[in-house]
Amino acid sequence: MNKKFKLALIPLAVSLLLTGCGESNKAAQAGDSAVKAKTEAVSTVQPSATLEAGSIVVSARDVADRAANWQLEQLGNLSYIPESHRAKSENPKFWIQASFYIGLTRWAETTSNKDYLRYIEEMAKEQNYELLLDRPYHADDHTIGQTYLWLTEQTGNKDAYKPTQELFDKILANPPKVGLEMLDETSTTQNGSHFEGNCQDRWCWADALYMAPRTWLKLSNVTGDPKYFEYADKEFWASADYLFSDKYGLFFRDSRYFDMKSENGKPVFWGRGNGWVFAAIPLIIDDLPAGHPSRDRYIELYKKNAAGLMKLQRENGYWPASLMDPDIVKTPEVSATGFITFGLAWGVNNGILTDARSKEIVEKGWHAIEDAVEPNGRVNWVQHVGKSPDPVKKTDSQLYGVGAVLLAASEMVKWED
């Protein structure tokens, strides 16, 4: 992120209207006229009259705008993130920040918020619409492409997807031939970038199904060329069939977890790992062309995963970091809860989940999310970067957790109390 863009972030303060924070207003006045014009346009966003129907709808608008704008204000200063992942978090092209933009694009589109659109557009231009190329096959490094392609859909800017198309054409010309088993002995570091195993040239871990397939789908949608999603659809199902447990209705994070047991003797299913996939499925379904032959299969997987997840919500509304052993990490965990609440709310809103219990679970999940967001918009209780159910502190926060909250809010603003 260059210096100019950092300066543009400092005075961004939509939360002024909600919290009355005078210091942010002073910061906005300190900017030059161009920066002031941009940030003031964002900070005057008001809830639309059509979104005042019920208390949850009002809450969703309030929570999401506070969270989004707190996070945007912090992008120039991520000192609250552990140093081990701070530099990567500062890079908009890396999956951590790119996951935040997926939530922000969904929120901007759902609320027709042109100020967020302009903000996202400027970020993408600053990055020259580029992807990271040190690991050309790695799903994580395809994540930001979803935002670039979303911009093409919103603005008609075809330049926004050209670098993504160039990379994906190279992948199609030389598709990976590795298997899906995660083998620790094949772990490597290349060009300073880590591979847990060589299977990560494919989508051999649960997170990947959120990061990459939708990018390929959107590229087919904007170009009209089905070859991109034909590849992604095949790879998605290879991975989903490999990692999904029909017995439990849950996804193993990767093959190393197939036989792993928690202290209570039950299988280890990571909360956020399942949240990644469960959020990805509705996003993919919404982007599928009408009549696509895989639609029913995605919906069937969604229903199985939803059934498995709904059994595991805790009394406090959160899903545990370790889904089948909530005593391993007893604290709240918002990234899993945000993604899962989004997925379930989508199912209710689209008439796929029709029983009263589903609605109760969603509302309970949303109220848990409300409790995790500070008045200034900071999202607490977000497990840091990892691949397993790790401890969480209240002060832990990360960009993808905010993205999950924004996804959940994008469905809750459609809610019928």
pLDDT of the residue at 171: 98
Name 80's Cβ contacts closer than 8 Å, sequence gap at least 6: 74, 395, 397
Mean pLDDT of 269-287: 98
CA distances from 104 to 150, 200, 371 (A): 11, 27, 20
- Checking phi first, is residue 192 left (phi over 0); if not, alpha (psi -120 to 50) or beta? left
- Is it the case that residue 59 has pLDDT exceeding 60? yes
pTM: predicted TM-score of the whole model, two decimal places: 0.89
Q: pLDDT tens across 235-266, in order?
A: 999 999 999 999 999 999 999 999 999 999 99
User: Which of residues 192 and 38 earns the better pLDDT score?
Assistant: 192
Q: pLDDT tens across 332-341, in order?
A: 999 999 999 9
DSSP letters for 227-240: HHHHHHHHHHHHHH
Domains of the chain from N-terminus onward? 52-412 (1.50.10.10)
pLDDT of the residue at 190: 75
Cβ(105)–Cβ(121) below 8 Å: no
Tokens coding 131: 């992807």
Quote the CA–CA distance of 308 and 286 in Å, as a whole number.
22
Known catalytic residues? 207
- Is it the case that residue 222 has pLDDT exceeding 60? yes
Q: pLDDT tens across 174-211, in order?
A: 999 999 999 999 999 877 788 999 999 999 999 999 99
Which residues share a beta bridge with 194? Answer: 189
Element (H, E) at 209: helix 208-211
pLDDT of the residue at 30: 33
